[in-house]
Structure 1
Amino acid sequence: MGPSTSPPEDPAEISFAEGQQEAERSIKKLCTRLLPGWSELKEEDMQMSKISGGISNLLVKVEPPAPLQPVAVKVFGEVFGDKTELLIDREAEKHTLLRLNAVGFGAPVVGLFGNGRIEAFLPCKTLTPEEMADPGFVPHIAARLRAFHDLPGMDAADATTSAPASAPASAPTPAAAEAAAAGPGPQPHVPSPQSSQWDAIFGWLDMAEQLSFEHDPAKQAAFDKVDFKAMRAELTLLRALCGRVASPRVFCHNDLLSGNILVIAPSTTGPAAEAPEPSTSAGAATSGVAGGATADVLGGGQLQFIDFEYSCAGPRGFDLGNHFNEYAGFDCDYTRFPTLEQQAAFFRHYLKPGELQALAAAARARRPAELGGAAPQAAAEAAALEGLAAEACIYALASHAYWGVWSFIQARYSPIDFDYLDYSALRWAEYHRRRAEFVALVDKHYPA
């Protein structure tokens, strides 16, 4: 799959150095230069409102007079004085999003500038964690995720969308070079997080081991308790365990939390808003999802995924396990992690017709004593679904590790008032709480 046609670009960067008002004026001027039909607009013709200020960006809505359509302007990087480019490859993200736009994923990009982009504003509803886990939404999310995983060409290595894992230390990114010059901190050889989930985990671990919190004795004391040698050894073992399930390589979202799942209002138009029909899943084919009771949850709208900052090709299991971890919601209640029965319901809608039967046959071959020819088909299919759960669960541990290590970097560089070291400890605690249970599932279905 080739990239879509690039939207208009402007090299200008939005700076907040001279205050919010001047930055807003710059954003409006940028819109008049880049967007068709906006060139004659005056500053007072446009209304601006803040949508969000996230960990790694600022998002504002700019509304012109009718019939022109409003846009969302996203500004990245040093808006809050952070160093998110150490964690996110913005160039890779841009190319990924343009390719995804071409096949109906993400908000349509209508303009690019030096440190951000302009997207079509989509009237939508963001799911809550409770809705994301609701049986009414699950079939739609599962089918949409399968459509995402099935995108042609996105699972292949692409030099235009990923930094090579072996990038030489002599060619650091500007952000990494700046951090290195400033003193103790991340080094420039770290691979792009878009290279693979494991590259990101081990690369961020390299960065974390070199961090210093001398400016904050309380943080330094907490950080000094981290046993990086044991953590690295544990992650090496986990990677081998994950390898046993032979999870298929797909293009993964990697951050499919409720806030990144939207229901687009039915009146929305545009090439990226009109998403392709999801793949027909085994569950949807038998439960009437398309026209039954669950169809009402979308209210005639369409499900859409956004925010591909951490997306990359990698094992399907990571996307599944990470998504299930997000059932915990913003209060991190990991007791909400889906049961085997809830996961089975998700997988029935994720799978295409005939796939469950093929997986059942593979389960019979792996476990002939229990699931030989005399065992009923229902038992073999139940075992196949539990095998998928084993894949998702072992990668759920990898997801805890991913965000647990990520949090070390955020603790050092993010200006947001949030205890990232405590959050990391929470993720690692859940990792260890579920480890034996999830490893036992792998041993049962994918013996060494």
Structure 2
Amino acid sequence: MGDSKSQKQVEIVDDVKSPINKVNYLPKEAKEILKSLAKKWKNVLDPNAMEVIPLKGAMTNEVFKVKWKTAIGETSQRVLVRMYGEGTGIFFNREDEIKAFEFISKSGHGPRLLGRFANGRVEEFINARTLFASDLRDPSISTLIAVKMSDFHDLNMPGPKKVHLWDVLRNWLVEARRLASPEEVKMFHLDTMDQEISTLEERLSNSHQKIGFCHNDLQYGNIMIDEQTKSLTLIDYEYASYNPIAYDIANHFCEMAANYHTEPPHILDYSKYPDLEERRLFVRTYLGSSGKEQSDNSKVEELLDNIEKFTLANHILWGLWGIISEHVNNIDFDYKEYAKQRFQDYWLRKQYLLSCNGSSNDSAVVGKERKY
């Protein structure tokens, strides 16, 4: 949550309150890579005279914009430097993430990887803005996101095309139990959460559900828009893997309840979760982007139903993320309270969404009140 929810990234913008050049903050290896890049650009006046500006929003990684002065009348050269935060290795394999990054970049779906150093990387700087929380509810932007997600899910990423969700949930549960205090284990029902995961896997797995290459963290800070062309770029692929596409869309819908620019930033407002008509429009656009399934109402309703059920898996996953982050991260974010909200919504809606007697699109379920 630019940066990802391994950072629970909020929108990346220039930190106008921190104008001091942070060049000495970067490790020597990173500075050597940056100088080498700048020497290749003929319009850079002095490759050694780089300006390093902290960018707001990273919740674990530290992110910087690096720029150099160029000849008069030319736009300055810029790159993005990402320094990995402590504890991120618990959540994902960095080598797998880099492989995904390179493949996605070569496929034309993301920024280019310009260099790597021991605890970070250098990326192409995208001339676009990250979305605001309110943008996710803008019908025109939501339509663009639906089409972009469909394209992303169709990426033919090398490797086995199997569902990763259930293994990730179980691995994170092990880590959460290891780090949590006895009081937290009791509070979050961690001693019985493996049974909850098994129940979801049994109920939500079926042979005909569509599996795609999923972003798995599509919150507003991980979507960039070019205001001129209205083209979108999805960024930060730490959690990207093959999963049911319903899970990825469910995650995106759940993120509409968050605004990481509020004070305090961890509070979720589920009144902002998209209503049935908004979800139906999104799914119709998603399915119709290929031009094949737009008018198939049965497929629209089936996917809508699966998406709602997969919100449960999302709540457990990011709830576990919050518990783990509380113990490995020093960022000023109330991870524990965030986890509490995710688990509360899981328990609030579980019996309705897994009921054999009704659809998860039922107004009684969709309108189920959430208060914290």
| Shorter-chain TM band | 0.7 to 0.9
Residue 355 (str. 1) matches residue 293 (str. 2): yes
- 2 CA distance for matches of 1:410 and 1:246? 35
Structure 1: how far apart are the matches of 2:158 and 2:253? 22
Question: Do residues 201 (structure 1) and 116 (structure 2) align?
Answer: no
> For residue 192 of structure 2, what is the amino acid of its counterpart?
A
CA distance in 1 between counterparts of 2:131 and 2:105 reads 21
1:39-58 pair list within 5 angstroms: 45-52=49-56, 54-58=58-62
Shift of 1:247: 2.3
1:329/1:225 Cα in 2 relative to 1: closer, same or farther (>3 Å)? closer
**How big is the shift at 1:29?**
3.3
Change (3 A) 1:127 1:442: farther
Q: Which of 202, 225, 235 is matched with 1:240 structurally? A: 202
Is the 8 Å Cα contact of residues 38 and 47 (structure 2) preserved in structure 1? no
Give the conservation status (yes or no) of the 8 Å contact 2:131–2:224.
Answer: yes
Match of 1:108 among 87, 112, 118: 112
Correspondence list, 1:77-116, <5 A = 77=85, 82-116=86-120
Distance apart, 1:35 and its partner CA: 4.9
CA shift in 2, pair 1:205/1:390, >3 Å: same
- Higher gyration radius (CA): 1
Partner of 1:426: 341
Structure 1, unmatched stretches of 5+, are: 1-19, 159-193, 214-219, 265-297, 361-380
Structure 1 residues 83, 34: CA separation in 2 closer, same or farther (over 3 Å shift)? same
Q: Deviations over 1:204-259 (max 9, x none)?
A: 1012122254xxxxxx6444433223322122111111114842111000000000
What TM-score, normalized to structure 1?
A: 0.67
2: CA distance, partners of 1:24 / 1:231: 41
Q: Distance in 1 between matches of 2:27 and 2:187?
A: 47
Equivalent AA in structure 2 for residue 335 of structure 1: S
Give the Å deviation of 1:402: 0.7
Aligned AA (1:69): Q
Q: Which residue of 2 aligns with 1:288?
A: none
The Cα RMSD (Å) is 2.7
Q: Structure 1 residues 21 and 139 mapped into 2: Cα distance closer, same or farther (>3 Å)?
A: closer
Residue aligning to 2:35: 32
Q: Taking every aligned residue pair, what percent have the same amino acid on both sides?
A: 29
Count of residues paired in the alignment: 325
Contact 1:390–1:442 under 8 Å retained in 2: no
User: Contact 2:146/2:282 (CA < 8 Å) preserved in 1?
Assistant: yes
Contact 2:353 2:359 (8 Å CA) reproduced: no
**AA matched with 1:76:** Y
2:344 & 2:164 partners in 1: Cα distance? 24
**Residue matched to 2:149:** 145
Query: 1:407, 1:420 within 8 Å by CA — same for their partners in 2?
Result: yes
Shift of the 308–136 alpha-carbon distance from structure 1 to 2, 3 Å rule, reads same
CA distance in 1, matches of 2:164, 2:24: 39
Q: Answer yes or no: is the 8 Å Cα contact 1:32–1:41 preserved in 2.
A: no
Superposition TM-score, scaled by structure 2 size: 0.79
**Aligned-partner Cα distance in 2 for 1:125–1:255:** 18
Shift of 1:407: 1.4
Q: Is 1:341–2:261 an aligned residue pair?
A: no
Give the Cα separation in 2 of the matches to 1:53 and 1:300.
25
Per-residue deviation at 1:145? 0.6
* Equivalent residue number for residue 259 of structure 1: 221
Q: Give, in angstroms, the shift of residue 52 of structure 1.
A: 3.1
Within 1, Cα distance between the matches of 2:27 and 2:69? 17
Structure 1 residue identity aligned to 2:210: P
Q: Does the 8 A contact of 2:180 with 2:323 survive in 1?
A: no
Q: Secondary structure at the match of 2:55?
A: strand
Name the SS of the counterpart of 2:138 in structure 1: coil
1:265-414 → structure 2 map (5 Å cutoff): 298-330=227-259, 331-351=267-287, 352-357=290-295, 360=296, 381=297, 383-414=298-329
Tell me, yes or no, if the aligned pair for 1:327 and 1:338 is still in contact at 8 Å: yes
SS of the residue corresponding to residue 61 of structure 1 reads: strand
Task: Show the counterpart of 2:24.
Answer: 22
Q: Which residue type is aligned with residue 317 of structure 1?
A: A
Match of 1:73 in 2: 81
Name the counterpart of 1:181: none
Amino acid at match of 1:101: S
8 Å CA contact 1:28, 1:46 repeated in 2? no
C-alpha deviation, 1:444, in angstroms? 4.3
Aligned with residue 192 of structure 2, among 227, 230, 241: 230
Query: For 1:242 and 1:332, how far apart are their aligned partners in 2?
Result: 25
Return closer, same or farther for 1:47/1:37 CA change in 2, 3 Å cut-off. Answer: same
C-alpha distance in 2 between matches for 1:59 and 1:444: 43
Q: Which whole-Å deviations, capped at 9, do the CAs of 1:399-439 have from their partners, x for residues lacking one?
A: 11110111121111111132222211110111122223322
Distance in 1 between residues matched to 2:356 and 2:307, nearest whole Å: 10
User: Counterpart of 1:349 in structure 2: which amino acid?
Assistant: T
